[in-house]
Amino acid sequence: MNFTEKDFPSLCPQAAKPSPTHLWDGYGRISGDSSCTYGDPCAGMTKSKMTKSQKKKAKKKQRDLLKKKEQPQSEPQPQSEPQPKKEKKIFECFMCCKKGPAGEVIKFKDRIGMRFLFGRGLCVDCSSSTPEKEILYRYIGCDWLDSKEEKERKLKGWMSVHKKKAIGEIVCWVNMNPTVWPCDYPEKVKDADLFEERWESLAHYAVWTRERRFEGEHVAWYSGANGKMVVGKVNNLKEDGKLSVFRIPETEEEKKLGNYYTKELEEWKLFPPISQRQALIHMREKPGCGRPEEESPFECSGCNRVRISMRSEKDKWDKGWSGPNKSPYGGVFCKECWDSGKIHERDKNMHQARINYSDREHRAFGSVFVDNWPGKPGRTFRTCSCYSCSCSVDPPPQSVSQTYKCESCSFEGPGYSGFFDRRSSTGGLPSTWDEEDHWFCKECWCREYWVEGKWYNKPDGSVWFKPKLS
């Protein structure tokens, strides 16, 4: 080796410039370079000077390096972006109204979609207790905000040996098995309960106790004189929170007092008018296996609460009827939401909109032949939007196959899933709007007309709707 580094200058002097820690070894390599291996026994030796063992070691080392290079290098996996945590669905305990996610606060031992629970369940505290305790907590007047320890203290002070019969009558009125929740019944019992009747009375009682009592309502309470549950009516609501109830006398002593026997009770000592046993008998005799519609709990579309929402007889003629107040456009409503939201007025405006803006000229929803169409004598093929076509149980085949696009939200669907709008876009002046089909989905249509407002008749015969600003 008669050459030096100066005889072969590097094209990149900065890279060739040795650092203090990299020494030139005189064989064209830098000792700190990755190509040089420290401890190489063959370093600085020619092949003629190498022994057999050294040659074998050099060849083995070369083969190992080649194998290492040929092995596929594991590429670093790209780190996946952290997935946003799914919001846990919040459920409500039907007994104590406590809210929380399933598994943590609400404990579902039966499936979530039980027939009479409306997606509600039992919380951890209630499920660890018994139906007897939870019913008695309400009967002795425990507040919803009382702690578990406070409830236990009040219950312990109220219970005694003399009240054993009363406790049995009170608890079994709501749930015939006072010690076991319906979700803990034996599997044989649950398999035989095809209509999930085991939950009905308990869930009905939980909703019933949160409703306001009214005069003339049928109620039940425990009579200490008779040693059983009796049924009567609410006579008067007093200012001190107590209620005056009356019933038909059952003993001779009561008959001496008059035709009716009256008593004052706290509101929390009242129960639904029929027991679980009686409810099951009535339910099994009726189609659908349920209570009458106006006496059954339902989920209000306005406040999203489970309600019964019954009215007194004297309120029905001017304020509305009992039970779920049905709207063909908005769902079912309790009496409070029906009154505050003026659902009756909204339904009327919606009905008028369908008559004046959509259900006109026998057009839109389906596809029909029309005789003597204005300006087109003879038989013409038109779309139909009349009430009989749009509200039929089985829509015409054409209305199912033909799709439309909502001009407001771009929703696409069959004709019967929305409404056609033929309002004049020029304020009553001649326009092509009356000859065209402008389709809107039901959601957009209801947002426009299922509101409070007034209708106006113009001299030209057109009808206009002015919604009330919220």
Same domain, 442 and 418: yes
Same domain, 328 and 365: no
Same domain, 371 and 448: yes
Its domain, for residue 334, covers: 296-341
Higher-pLDDT residue of 241 and 266 is 266
* pLDDT, mean of residues 144-162: 85
Q: How far apart are CA 73 and CA 240, in angstroms?
A: 84
Would you state the pLDDT for residue 438? 76
What band does 9 get if pLDDT is binned at 50, 70 and 90? low
Same domain, 352 and 316: no
Same domain, 335 and 377: no
Higher-pLDDT residue of 241 and 452 is 452
Would you state the pLDDT for residue 7? 63
Same domain, 322 and 358: no
Which range has the worst mean pLDDT, 149-163, 280-294, 314-328?
314-328
Q: Of 307, 322, 341, which marks where a domain is finished? A: 341
Is pLDDT above 80 for 73?
A: no
Number of separate domains in the chain: 2
Q: Of 341, 364, 395, which marks where a domain is finished? A: 341
What band does 82 get if pLDDT is binned at 50, 70 and 90? low
Any domain includes 447: yes
Most confident range (mean pLDDT) of 97-101, 127-131, 353-357 is: 127-131
Same domain, 452 and 365: yes
Note the pLDDT tens digit of each residue in 393-441.
455 555 556 777 888 898 988 777 888 776 655 544 455 555 566 778 8
Note the pLDDT tens digit of each residue in 282-310.
988 888 788 888 889 999 999 999 999 88
Is pLDDT above 60 for 381?
A: no
Note the pLDDT tens digit of each residue in 186-245.
999 989 988 889 999 999 999 999 999 998 899 999 998 888 999 999 998 888 778 999
pTM of the predicted structure, to 2 decimals = 0.68
Question: Helices 200-208 and 164-174 meet at what angle, rounded to 10?
Answer: 100
Any domain includes 239: no
Output the average pLDDT for the chain: 77
Is pLDDT above 70 for 51?
A: no
Contact call for residues 332 and 151 (beta carbons, < 8 A)? no
* pLDDT, mean of residues 27-42: 44
**Above pLDDT 90, what percent of the chain?**
25
Higher-pLDDT residue of 317 and 227 is 227
Higher-pLDDT residue of 111 and 316 is 111
Question: Helices 200-208 and 276-285 meet at what angle, rounded to 10?
Answer: 110
Same domain, 362 and 317: no
* pLDDT, mean of residues 34-58: 56
> Which one-letter amino acid corresponds to residue 216?
G
Q: Of 279, 313, 341, which marks where a domain is finished? A: 341
Contact call for residues 111 and 91 (beta carbons, < 8 A)? no
Any domain includes 34: no
